[in-house]
Amino acid sequence: MSAIQPPEERVWWKEPIAPIEITWILIAFVWCLFMFIMMPYWHIFGKQNLANEAYRSTPELFTAKAQAMVDKYKVREETEQAIPVVRPPAGSDVYLVARLWQWWPLLELEEGQTYRLHLMSLDWLHGFSLQPENINIQVHPGYEHILQVQPNRAGTYSIICNEYCGINHHTMAAKLYVVKK
């Protein structure tokens, strides 16, 4: 056999395997097993995945729920567009509408309290990213996404759309206020 001439027998699996190849195959196999074990481990113990629910809904129905929440719990207005700021009671359902290029309304939540955050896009696919926390979810039109959130630090958080949604995508940002009890 030579490097120029083809092998006489063209059955590749009958060719001898060099010891270094066996070593690399074993390293790759062990690494694959490690990764296979780590995926369910991080899913269960790593708290990397949000426990969320999603239901089909219509923009009209979701907008009505969000408007009812605003009418009931509005505390003030902010920004040039007079976006309402709502402060719902602890444990309640909170609605956040995503639409070109705005999150509506602004939310003011209590530190240490649990809320059910309902998200829905009225037009395109948007991304809900809560900064500096590592909460990321795609917000699809026609689906009501529900997350259970419990803010554990007072402060002002940023809500950013991280899915490109058009020419003014870069302006689609809002605030989430977390206040002490």
> What CA–CA distances, in Å, run from 83 to 36, 125, 137, 161?
47, 22, 23, 17
> What CA–CA distances, in Å, run from 99 to 81, 120, 121, 165?
14, 9, 6, 9
Model-level pTM greater than 0.75? no
The domain segmentation of the chain, as residue ranges, is 52-179
Query: What tens-digit pLDDT sequence spans the chain (181 residues)?
Result: 566 777 666 777 777 888 999 999 999 999 999 999 998 888 777 766 667 788 999 999 999 999 999 999 999 988 778 899 999 999 899 999 999 899 999 999 999 999 999 999 999 999 999 988 878 889 999 999 999 888 999 999 999 999 998 899 999 999 999 998 7
For residues 159 and 171, is the Cβ–Cβ distance under 8 A? no
Q: Which fold has domain 52-179?
A: Immunoglobulin-like (2.60.40)
For residues 66 and 102, is the Cβ–Cβ distance under 8 A? no
Cα–Cα dist 52/148, whole Å = 7
